[in-house]
Structure 1
Amino acid sequence: MLRRRERAVDIMALTLLLLLMLVTLSSASHFYGGVVTFTAKGLGSTGNYEVEVRSKATFHGCQYQYFSCYSGNCGYNYQLDAGIIDSSSNGPVTASSWCQTETVTNKLLSTNTPFKTRADSCCWIYYSSYSYSPSWSVLASIDIGLRSDTNQPNNSPDIAIVPFLRVPQNCPRTYNLMTFDPDGDVVRCRYGHFAAAECYDCRTHHGFSLNEAECTLQFQSASQGIYEFELVVEDFPQQSITLRYSDGSFVFQVDPPVSSCTEGLYLPKLVSPTPMDGEIIPVQVGKELDITVKAEAQYSTVDQIILTGPLNISKHHTTAGEFHLRWTPIPANNGLYFPICFAVEVKHGSSVHQSEMRCVLVNVTDELVNTVVTCLESSMIVEVEKATLPPLHYDHLRLSDPSNTVCSLQTHSNSTHVVAIIPLNACGTDIEEDDDDLLFKNEITTVDDPTAIITRRHQVEIKFFCQYAKRGNVSLSFSAHRENVTVWDKGFGTFTYVFEIFPDSQFVSRIDPRSYPLEYDVGQRIYMEIQAMTTVNNTEMFVESCSAAPYDNPNYHSPYLLIQNGCIKDPTLVVHQSQARLYAFSIEAFKFIGLHDQVYIGCSVLMCEAGNPNTRCSHGCLPSGAHRRRREAAIETGVHYVSQGPVKLRNSERDGAGLALNLNMNLVFIAGCALATVGMICGLIFYKSRKSTMRYQPLPLQES
């Protein structure tokens, strides 16, 4: 018996192992493509050569691509970093989604001779469940040997392409693949060769043509379906030296025809301020890069942006219909180039259309201009160290709009620093909203003539912004007076919320903090006021929810709801004032207070851009069954929590409530005892009746 049990366990373990293998193979079979690049880091402190290998891979799910040594001395990995670059639910019918990840591997090598690493599996993404899906392979040839032309280690070309491209069947389009070589080499693209293990399927496709010299892919016309491309990107030095190549692969989906191929109608059209394809954008270490992308489509709805770029890049959608790609380089990125490619997707009914793909090249440099930005509740302070600026006339520096005297850079500057104190609602400050924050942006530029309205040459361009979280919780408790709560958001900016209690509906003078804790009779009104302390004219506050709880905890499991999703739930609640940044209301003291020693009232509030119809503030009351839109980028803040209190019922009221509660509990106890007694009597009667009917029966002589 024991042997059979052990055997069953073994079979179970084997079955589980097979299932896990099947799951792994199944998930790995949905491959969209991958790209590998490398950067030589020179000789390390240990005397070994160092190289950083970056591999991007796109699968149906968020998986990571791991390489094995294919040939040569591949060294060993001493540091590995990985993360998600982008994902989308607008995938092909058979997969519905895709996810691109990047793995950054730092290797130590005993020599700088060439070696190859490879990742391969089954299978490419397929267009239908009945179509053939070949295996895939990503091969990277890495050569960090010293170049005879530069006497520096060799680096691979920087290449990038959007993870999943799609185009209507009847719309020809040209795709410029982002290729840049930091060594100044000429870059060319070609299809991989099976004999060199550069690809598995290695096929070319009718309707597509590849310009190898310019690395452009031209689509003319093809049947609907998914087409995989396995390309080799090679760099050719200006002089005669031997170099290797990097591998890049991707998929292309041909969609059903569209009514018009003119961009801006059904297909999205990229418009200003979107950067041009191939533009080089400098960014300093530790300074956030912000790329603005905007698209228009008259008969379609802008849905999302898809991208590929460096690890830790993020994307945000503003209520103004713009997208922002943000990335902050770290010191290890200094001196490197990072390509970023993007395309905007729109929806027309059930159809998804993409804009043209554009790519920019980000050049990371050391910090050039030393700036410090301080964010206050209604203004920004910017300090620029003059010693880090290029030689210029400081009176030629100006903000976006210097027409107001308060916007002059001469007022607060001194011999060592250019100092600007900028109101959040003046000097040309722009306001944006993303998923989590309000952003106030401005810039300092140079002008040819300080008296001129425009300038045609910027010797210096210093962009800066202050960031404030959109949502906040405020809570009013009643035990002892609580001071104002200042909410700090990501170390950028602050909003202060004041939650006070007043003696009457005039809301003139708050109750003296020395009077706390406050006591009320049942039915007596409690007058409260929430105020956002900011002078920014184009913002407004919205009270999203309020509740009472015995603890100062916004996550208390069973609070008494006063306001929920902007809707009044307590029948005694009266709104006395509701202005842009002030909300005054009152409630009647209720028995819930008497059941606890003290009660806190907490409210969730958020700040929005005033007058914008797309913000949560403008939507007002949203009943529980109503659809709540996903917060978009740029005009609401995060939720904050402040408290004040607690409140109590007067002793007589509290004692009465306690007496009533004790009386109710006594009645429940007596009733329970009575029911238990009745149950016992009934059970005894039933038992005796069953016992009296039991009789012995003769057993059969044999079993049938």
Structure 2
Amino acid sequence: MLQLTLLLLLTRAFTASASHFYGGTMTFTPKGRTPDGSLMVDFRFKHALSVGCTRTNPWSCYSGSCGNITRFIMAPVETYHSSAGDSWCQAEGFVTRRIPSDKPFELRAASSGWVFNIRGGGGWNLLTYVDLGIRSDTNAPNRSPLTTIIPSIRIPQNCPRRISIMAHDPDGDRVRCRYGQIRDVECGDCYQHQNFHLDQDTCTLSYSFSSLGAHVFELVLEDFPTQPVWLQYSDGTMSLRSPQSESSTTPSPPTTASYWLSQQMTSVTAPPPVAPMSRLPLQFALKVDGQVPSCTEGLYLPRFLHPTPHNGEFLNASVDQNLEIRVKAEAIHSQFSEFIISGPLNITKTITLDGRFAELTISWTPVQNDLHDHFPICFIAVSQSGSDVYHSEMRCIIVIVGHITGGDEANVVCTESTMTVEVRKSSIIGLHDNHLRLNDPSCTLISNNTHVVATMSLNSCGTELEEDDDNLIFKNEISTFDELNQVITREHRVEIEFSCVYPKKGTVSLEFRAHRIPYVFTERGFGKFTYRFEFFHTSLFNRMVDPSTYPVEVALKDMIYMEIISSSSLPNTVMFVESCRATPIDDPTYHVFYSIIENGCVVDDTVQVYPGNSSEYRFGMEAFTFIGMHQEVFISCSVILCQAEGISTRCAQGCINASAPSAGHHHHRRSVGVQTSRHYISQGPLRLTRSSTIEGSSMSLNMNLVVCIAALLAAVAMLSGVMVFKTKQSRVKYQVLPGNDF
């Protein structure tokens, strides 16, 4: 009875607000099942009005079983007042519904009163199609796309503009935007503006020229899977959803029910191939103003500057921690007056105006109920010149809510020679298995169902050494990337810094030596693998040079014997040494170098290659020294590990003569699981003996205090691992979402 009374009051209130509607939208997120099998679903909807922001749209059940409301919250998210007469307020409603069935249903809101526009006024209609079936690709209920928008956008008549509509799907579906077509159901007027072009695939609205005044857009967002997906329902039925452009083979229905289901599947139905997973309304007003003296952004029209997030960027937030988003804009010939935002409940803004520049700080604190959800936020900068009002481009971002990793969510293991970091996937939203790397981009990570894992030696994968008065600190970082070999990104989502700390003083005996410990790497498709690079006394390779005797002293023209051995948990792998060079310092990129092997081909006349198995490479060469004041020689090699059966791998290609026409092998995309990235390993130093009478095979002890590490790493009890998670955010305060239950 209470809900019916509330609905009647809201309907009357909304009907009274004629000619005041600026648009609205709705999204939904499943939140799990109750003991009786009902689904709890959160609905978030927005509407904008010129008066009465606290009113709500009278959403009602249009078809199917829509359940009942168990929680309702309504509050403004933005209020805008303009001297040009364009004033409005946007509110968000948060509703939790208990849904008895996971079969599709529809919610609808309708009333009269669109803001006065070039076609008059007229009624408005919002329709949301909800399907909560269990997806065969995620084993979870279907989620809707996410969207929000500034409800009233202004553009100059003489400036072509492109408006990117926020259309993000957390299930990874393809989202398309179209005009509403069913009058008095999906839309009121259903008018398609001729001077605007809507790219349905990219959800981009382009403007060239149109008459002055407000233009109403009544759009519909639909999501389609990228591959055929079965939806399973608790009544035993199944339904197929296909990509909008179907070209792949339809899969068979799943043979086992998802854990969400409690009943056996009994029938299968197949809807039309282009049926969407869900259908959402997105309606707003766009006002074409008079002409501006210049369409160049930054003069009259505001232009965004660093550190403003790029459109479509993903940011991470943590439960109960304030997220701050910094925005900066510039306009030389107009005066800043405002920033307009649209986002979730409890979002706030702080504005600083400073002449030609303006800054905005958006603040929002997620609560526990927001964990693992995605939230869109849009913003626009506003400036004025006299009575003329100018809007910047609209930018929208997605905030993904996780929580700070701690306890058993992540672990750093420090040993005598390696660091291992394990991060639970569920602890940080935004960890994408195939787009994770360490400081060295050639070092990727491996993963299982629950964790991502990286293991590296203390001298590999870009590990950095720092020290203070008491400790040696080895640091590295897991980060996401767009393209593996790029050095910049505009989509940086998460950074996880970790370190191992080793005390300089302790009960262990300290021994510093230059000898390199085995190189340890992890990479998708190969797991954990190692390379060992050693010097030997003879061509029999049966007596390795004692690591404690480094740097190794040799005489000119003495033979130096070297062996590289790979070790992998995968069977049937082969190792390929692509290049080796000598440098006078421990830096393979140093400008002074001498090539020994290039492109898999021996280039030094004294080199002899000795037989070995597929995981070994043995070679020797005459000792030499660099001309000038160089006392030492370091040997560095680039190595690749391949699957033995691969016929197009770099290992299979072997020596490629640099003088021959290029076969383009440097431009081939590496096939994950067929060969690893190129890794660089080194050993040394070699040092020329003081006396030429010393026999070539003799080696002497000479301690080197330049490179450190080794025996002080022996006591695991004295080691500690540290991990720091960064998401490009400022730290903050706590805020709890208010709530009332009916």
Taking structure 2 as the reference length, what is the TM-score of the superposition?
0.48
> Contact between 2:10 and 2:57, CA under 8 Å: does it hold in 1?
no
Q: Which residue of 1 aligns with 2:194?
A: 206
Is residue 64 from structure 1 mapped to residue 56 from structure 2 by the alignment? yes
Aligned with 1:73 (options 65, 83, 90): 65
Separation in 2, partners of 1:234, 1:340: 20
Change in Cα spacing, 1:22 to 1:186, as seen in structure 2 (3 Å) is closer
Change in Cα spacing, 1:69 to 1:167, as seen in structure 2 (3 Å) is same
1:110 deviation in Å? 1.2
> Contact between 1:86 and 1:308, CA under 8 Å: does it hold in 2?
yes
Structure of greater relative contact order (alpha carbons < 8 Å, 6+ residues apart): 2
Q: Which residue of 1 aligns with 2:364?
A: 327
Separation in 2, partners of 1:319, 1:125: 30
Q: Supply the AA of the counterpart residue of 2:108.
A: R
Q: Supply the AA of the counterpart residue of 2:171.
A: D
> Contact between 2:325 and 2:729, CA under 8 Å: does it hold in 1?
no
Is residue 184 from structure 1 mapped to residue 205 from structure 2 by the alignment? no
Q: Within 5 A, what are the aligned runs for 1:490-505?
A: none
> Contact between 1:225 and 1:255, CA under 8 Å: does it hold in 2?
yes
Q: Which residue of 2 aligns with 1:314?
A: 348
Change in Cα spacing, 1:447 to 1:355, as seen in structure 2 (3 Å) is farther
1:68 deviation in Å? 0.8
Separation in 2, partners of 1:305, 1:81: 25
Is residue 164 from structure 1 mapped to residue 201 from structure 2 by the alignment? no
3-state DSSP class of the match of 2:209?
coil
Q: Which residue of 2 aligns with 1:285?
A: 319
1:238 deviation in Å? 2.0
Separation in 2, partners of 1:328, 1:197: 36
Aligned with 1:98 (options 88, 100, 104): 88
3-state DSSP class of the match of 2:96?
strand
Separation in 2, partners of 1:92, 1:328: 33
> Contact between 1:163 and 1:307, CA under 8 Å: does it hold in 2?
no
Is residue 231 from structure 1 mapped to residue 265 from structure 2 by the alignment? no
Change in Cα spacing, 1:75 to 1:317, as seen in structure 2 (3 Å) is same
Separation in 2, partners of 1:170, 1:364: 41
Larger radius of gyration: 1
Q: Supply the AA of the counterpart residue of 1:122.
A: S
1:461 deviation in Å? 3.0
1:317 deviation in Å? 1.0
Is residue 154 from structure 1 mapped to residue 164 from structure 2 by the alignment? no
Change in Cα spacing, 1:444 to 1:36, as seen in structure 2 (3 Å) is closer
Separation in 2, partners of 1:258, 1:50: 50
Separation in 1, partners of 2:454, 2:90: 44
Separation in 1, partners of 2:223, 2:395: 22
Aligned with 2:335 (options 279, 301, 312): 301
Q: Which residue of 2 aligns with 1:83?
A: 75
Separation in 1, partners of 2:324, 2:125: 35
Aligned with 2:204 (options 216, 225, 228): 216
Q: Within 5 A, what are the aligned runs for 1:492-531?
A: none
Q: Which residue of 2 aligns with 1:437?
A: none
Separation in 2, partners of 1:159, 1:229: 15
Q: Supply the AA of the counterpart residue of 2:395.
A: R
User: Which runs of 5 or more structure 1 residues have no equivalent in the other structure?
Assistant: 1-18, 371-385, 397-407, 416-442, 449-457, 468-489, 493-704
Q: Which residue of 1 aligns with 2:99?
A: 109
Q: Supply the AA of the counterpart residue of 2:378.
A: C
Q: Within 5 A, what are the aligned runs for 1:633-672?
A: none
> Contact between 2:183 and 2:190, CA under 8 Å: does it hold in 1?
no
Is residue 366 from structure 1 mapped to residue 411 from structure 2 by the alignment? no
Change in Cα spacing, 1:360 to 1:137, as seen in structure 2 (3 Å) is same
Is residue 254 from structure 1 mapped to residue 324 from structure 2 by the alignment? no
Per-residue Cα deviation, 1:558-612 (whole angstroms, up to 9, x for no partner): xxxxxxxxxxxxxxxxxxxxxxxxxxxxxxxxxxxxxxxxxxxxxxxxxxxxxxx
The runs of 4+ residues in structure 1 deviating greater than 4 Å are 19-24, 386-393, 408-415, 443-448, 462-467
Q: Supply the AA of the counterpart residue of 2:66.
A: C
Aligned with 2:305 (options 268, 271, 287): 271
Q: Supply the AA of the counterpart residue of 1:103.
A: G
Separation in 2, partners of 1:137, 1:279: 31
Separation in 1, partners of 2:18, 2:469: 62
Q: Supply the AA of the counterpart residue of 1:309.
A: G
Separation in 2, partners of 1:279, 1:140: 26
User: Which runs of 5 or more structure 2 residues have no equivalent in the other structure?
Assistant: 1-8, 229-239, 242-276, 408-422, 429-452, 460-465, 474-494, 501-722, 736-742
Separation in 1, partners of 2:68, 2:10: 28
1:51 deviation in Å? 1.0
Separation in 1, partners of 2:323, 2:471: 27
Per-residue Cα deviation, 1:19-73 (whole angstroms, up to 9, x for no partner): 9999753425311110110011231234311111111111112132230111111
Change in Cα spacing, 1:110 to 1:91, as seen in structure 2 (3 Å) is farther
Q: Which residue of 2 aligns with 1:498?
A: none
Q: Which residue of 1 aligns with 2:373?
A: 336
Aligned with 2:24 (options 21, 26, 34): 34
Aligned with 2:110 (options 115, 120, 129): 120
1:307 deviation in Å? 1.2
Separation in 1, partners of 2:186, 2:139: 29
Change in Cα spacing, 1:164 to 1:92, as seen in structure 2 (3 Å) is farther
Separation in 2, partners of 1:81, 1:364: 20
Q: Within 5 A, what are the aligned runs for 1:435-584?
A: 460-461=725-726
Separation in 2, partners of 1:138, 1:340: 21
Change in Cα spacing, 1:84 to 1:412, as seen in structure 2 (3 Å) is farther
Separation in 2, partners of 1:323, 1:108: 38
1:150 deviation in Å? 2.8
Separation in 1, partners of 2:39, 2:10: 38
> Contact between 2:83 and 2:387, CA under 8 Å: does it hold in 1?
no
> Contact between 1:91 and 1:98, CA under 8 Å: does it hold in 2?
no
> Contact between 2:152 and 2:284, CA under 8 Å: does it hold in 1?
yes
> Contact between 1:339 and 1:362, CA under 8 Å: does it hold in 2?
yes
> Contact between 2:324 and 2:729, CA under 8 Å: does it hold in 1?
no
> Contact between 1:40 and 1:52, CA under 8 Å: does it hold in 2?
yes
Separation in 1, partners of 2:379, 2:281: 20
Separation in 2, partners of 1:119, 1:199: 10
* Overall identity of the aligned pairs, in %: 39
Bigger shift: residues 351-360 or 45-54: 45-54
Change in Cα spacing, 1:332 to 1:257, as seen in structure 2 (3 Å) is same
Q: Supply the AA of the counterpart residue of 2:112.
A: C
Separation in 1, partners of 2:98, 2:12: 34
Q: Which residue of 2 aligns with 1:345?
A: 382
Q: Supply the AA of the counterpart residue of 2:139.
A: N
3-state DSSP class of the match of 2:135?
coil
Per-residue Cα deviation, 1:143-186 (whole angstroms, up to 9, x for no partner): 11112333321111011221211100001110111111111111
Separation in 2, partners of 1:339, 1:186: 17
3-state DSSP class of the match of 1:179?
coil
3-state DSSP class of the match of 1:332?
helix
Separation in 1, partners of 2:353, 2:215: 35
3-state DSSP class of the match of 1:262?
coil
3-state DSSP class of the match of 1:159?
coil
> Contact between 2:316 and 2:400, CA under 8 Å: does it hold in 1?
yes
Q: Over aligned residues, Cα RMSD in angstroms?
A: 3.9
Q: Within 5 A, what are the aligned runs for 1:384-403?
A: none
> Contact between 1:284 and 1:368, CA under 8 Å: does it hold in 2?
no
Q: Supply the AA of the counterpart residue of 1:338.
A: F
